[in-house]
Structure 1
Amino acid sequence: MAIPHRIFGSGSRDGWAAARLVGIDLARGLAVFGMYAVHVGPRDGEGVVGSVMDFAFGRSSVLFAVITGFSLILITGRNPPKSTLAGRQAIAKIAIRALILLALGEILTYVNAPVSVILAYYGVCFLLVLPLYRLSAQRLGLLAAVTALVLPQVRFLLLKMLGSGSSDPEVFTLLVSGTYPALTWVPLLIAGMAIARLDLRTRAMHLRLGIAGVALAVLGFGGSWLALHLMPSVSAELANLQEHDVSPHHWWMLDVDRLTASWLWIASPHSETTFWIFGSAGCAMIIVAACSLAMDALPFVRKLVSPIVAVGSMPLTAYLLHILGIFMLGRAHSLSALFGFIVVVSAFAVLWLRLFPRGPMEALMGWIADRATRRPLARVSDRQ
């Protein structure tokens, strides 16, 4: 079964070999299952299960963000970027997708969705990174590093100066104080855009991508560990927070008034620090490289992972299905609940793709974007 490459309704192969596109969908499918693990999987597990659950927390969403940046470049053209009418259409389609995601995110939040909805934040990030679509891999990589170094500190200062609460303006929530603040998630999308600009037609480049990911992970998580061990006063402040029954996995929920500059040295999930961005982005790069290498070097594995690839080709549909499932069934937080979600959504994705080329939500979003951009932009082209 040939699985088409899609991200929230995109549809450009851009000259890539099918195996490499399947590798991207495989990585995205794993991100979906990681998200399921966070939302319905067992908590406080031990052994292998506990390690897998801990790894998924805060990293599945980062993997999504990196691949989303990657896919934005596929839509706007890799080498070279699209120009003239095709370029304007690609930009307009992404902008419309961003607005749809914003609307969906706000609706789900309004109806009290049972999870922290990321869609609106993604919509904001789409709009923020869209002007960068023509930059080279080197410039995008440099910009990703600079924003990862600067923006977490900017966000921290804004939180300390302006505070945070339920009465925050929506723009401030989406950019600064929310669960997935755009200020600290934009570097992840830019990193994905930089990866998409690389010449990934060879295994050697995938290996380099994996090695670069390892280096970033060591820099982020290892750098945080080293800093905390070299600065006893910082470690003491953070230990004091833990004495108040705040585990590292829940530090992101702390009241902003309790945060000090010591926070900026940690790399815990959703801490929104420079160390966390570097470390988590490195993990995402490792997974993308490993999936692409596996699909390229081991074609027989493709059939085994085809259900995961199918889910990865319709991420918005899979995301909304799991929210609907939690609405209907509640959050059991068990291995059986996680297994059930994975099996049901995988079966749906495989069966759907036997009949249609795209997931239902991806097709709908693509149709809306096509209808909204084709005629207006064509008229602009005719006048020119």
Structure 2
Amino acid sequence: MERNTRSSARYIGIDLARFLAVIGMMANHLVAIVGSNPTASLLDQRAAEIATTLTSGIAAVLFAVLGGVSAVFASKRALAAGRRGAAVIGIVLRGLILIALGLWLGALNVPIIVVLAYYGVALILVSVFVAAPSWVLATTAAALWLAGGPLNALARQTLEVVEEAGSPSFESIAEQPLETVRGLLLTGAYPAITWVAYLLVGMLIARALIAANERGKLSRTALGLAGLGVLLATVATLISNWTLANLARFGVAAPEGLDMALFTKFLGMQQFGAPTSPELWAQLVAAPHSGSPIEMLRTVGIALAVIGLLVTLFDSRGAAPGPVTDVFRAAGAAPLTIYTLHLVATSIAYAPVYAGVDLSAGTPWWIAGLGAFGIQLAGVLVIGVILSLLKRRGPLEALTSGIVHTLTRT
């Protein structure tokens, strides 16, 4: 029988998955972005292509799914003590803290849509599910998975908007409250109608891992999740590729004056939080950040594969991490701190751009590209080393937990 002697400790694999999620978002913000810059070096252009393939629409979803995992872990003690109200309130408070931090960071001048306010709203919405049976979570997630994409696309078509809210901020809340709130829930880049489903999937994953750990079958369950994830991602990719190659079967034609091959390429590119159309064919295209059923199936599959594989490798035998692994684990255990510092550092680097400095000769290597990513990755690893040596959590994580524990204590 398998044993996990660290049943009451953090899951190393989950923290490592968090590390990959945050680093993936950083790569998307700093490396993938130069793909549209004709002055970028050939190396940066190739790196941008790879970063886009590996992170676009994937890293953010992994971050969201792990948010659901964290919600279960954070509420486990209160639920075990029979304090359901405290468990729900604790998740709501975490969501409110994320919204406040996200609105503050939303004012930064960066070419990045800040996810935290969206994440906080979705977290508040799923708080009522922390004590619900798993079948309720699964049913709700399935309903949002099937209906969310077409409803979102139809709503945007009716409202005649592609995307609104951008990076929500205190200023946007004051000046455009309706559009900002509507964006957070439906018409934004990371709408709650999609992210709630991702969080619910994460909650189901966490429950499966906890139950398997208690039965001594963690490795088998984690490996099964990884295999399921690979299957889902593969099937979704095949369906999407077939749909894009057979658009004529659905009666889809390129707009007048636009080459069909170019139009097809556009349909498979990153979207703005919803499918390009409420019609069936658009729901079968796995365009990044589209929230279509097939895109959600693909990205959830990838998240399952990453989480399942890492838990299998690092948690099934209950061994403590080595010093090198613990650096990555410690950094992964501080995703909020690292994400915030990443945005602040990026805003400082981009200050000359927004100040009107002439960059016609090209973007400096420390602003975007492999160089900028290398600098920030080195900073992340330094943070990991410090937290590992001190055996501490990230400061924002510790502050959030302190606030929640203080306000839910009875």
Provide the TM-score with structure 1 as the length reference. Answer: 0.83
Code of the residue aligned with 1:145 in structure 2: it is: A
- Give runs of aligned pairs for residues 148-163 of structure 1, distance below 5 A: 148-163=145-160
- Aligned residues: CA RMSD: 3.1
Distance 1:131 1:157, change over 3 A: same
Of 375, 381, 386, which aligns to 1:340? 375
Residue 218 of structure 1: CA displacement?
2.3
Percent identity between the aligned chains?
29
Q: Residue 351 of structure 1: SS of its match in structure 2?
A: helix
For structure 2, list consecutive stretches of 5 or more residues without a partner in the other structure.
36-43, 166-175, 351-365
- Give runs of aligned pairs for residues 140-219 of structure 1, distance below 5 A: 140-164=137-161, 165=164, 169-198=179-208, 199-201=211-213, 202-219=218-235
Task: Look up the match of 2:285.
Answer: 266
Residue 232 of structure 1: CA displacement?
1.9
* Deviation digits for residues 276-328 of structure 1 (CA, Å, limit 9, x no counterpart): 11100000000001111121368597443322211110111000110111112
2:17, 2:332 within 8 Å by CA — same for their partners in 1?
A: yes
* Deviation digits for residues 35-71 of structure 1 (CA, Å, limit 9, x no counterpart): 1101112543566773344211111110011111011
Of 326, 331, 337, which aligns to 1:317? 337
Residue 205 of structure 1: CA displacement?
0.7
1:30, 1:308 within 8 Å by CA — same for their partners in 2?
A: no
1:353, 1:359 within 8 Å by CA — same for their partners in 2?
A: no
Residue 17 of structure 1: CA displacement?
5.8
Q: Residue 179 of structure 1: SS of its match in structure 2?
A: coil
* Deviation digits for residues 304-362 of structure 1 (CA, Å, limit 9, x no counterpart): 33222111101110001101111122372221211111111221232134335221111
Distance 1:266 1:195, change over 3 A: same
How many residue pairs end up in the alignment? 358
- Give runs of aligned pairs for residues 49-64 of structure 1, distance below 5 A: 50-64=49-63
Distance 1:134 1:245, change over 3 A: closer
Of 15, 20, 24, which aligns to 1:25? 15
For 1:196 and 1:94, the matched residues in 2 are separated by 15
Code of the residue aligned with 1:16 in structure 2: it is: S
Task: Look up the match of 1:124.
Answer: 121
1:136, 1:197 within 8 Å by CA — same for their partners in 2?
A: no
- Is 1:373 aligned to 2:389, yes or no? no
Distance 1:276 1:36, change over 3 A: same
For 1:343 and 1:58, the matched residues in 2 are separated by 24
For 1:197 and 1:342, the matched residues in 2 are separated by 32
Distance 1:61 1:218, change over 3 A: same
Distance 1:329 1:113, change over 3 A: closer
- Is 1:91 aligned to 2:88, yes or no? yes
For 1:163 and 1:14, the matched residues in 2 are separated by 55
1:32, 1:311 within 8 Å by CA — same for their partners in 2?
A: no
Task: Look up the match of 1:291.
Answer: 310
1:28, 1:315 within 8 Å by CA — same for their partners in 2?
A: yes
1:220, 1:274 within 8 Å by CA — same for their partners in 2?
A: no
Task: Look up the match of 1:135.
Answer: 132
Moved more, 193-202 or 182-191: 193-202
Code of the residue aligned with 1:361 in structure 2: it is: L
Task: Look up the match of 2:65.
Answer: 66
Code of the residue aligned with 1:221 in structure 2: it is: T
For 1:290 and 1:127, the matched residues in 2 are separated by 29
For 1:306 and 1:356, the matched residues in 2 are separated by 10
1:265, 1:275 within 8 Å by CA — same for their partners in 2?
A: yes
Residue 271 of structure 1: CA displacement?
1.3
Distance 1:369 1:107, change over 3 A: same
Of 218, 236, 239, which aligns to 1:223? 239
Structure number with the bigger relative contact order (C-alpha 8 A, sep ≥ 6) is 1
* Deviation digits for residues 160-209 of structure 1 (CA, Å, limit 9, x no counterpart): 22232566522211011111111111111110111111133221111110
For 1:130 and 1:14, the matched residues in 2 are separated by 30
For 2:273 and 2:146, the matched residues in 1 are separated by 22
Code of the residue aligned with 2:408 in structure 1: it is: T
For structure 1, list consecutive stretches of 5 or more residues without a partner in the other structure.
1-12, 379-384
Distance 1:232 1:300, change over 3 A: farther
Task: Look up the match of 1:355.
Answer: 390
Of 306, 310, 326, which aligns to 1:306? 326
Q: Residue 180 of structure 1: SS of its match in structure 2?
A: coil
Of 16, 27, 34, which aligns to 2:7? 16
Distance 1:237 1:14, change over 3 A: farther
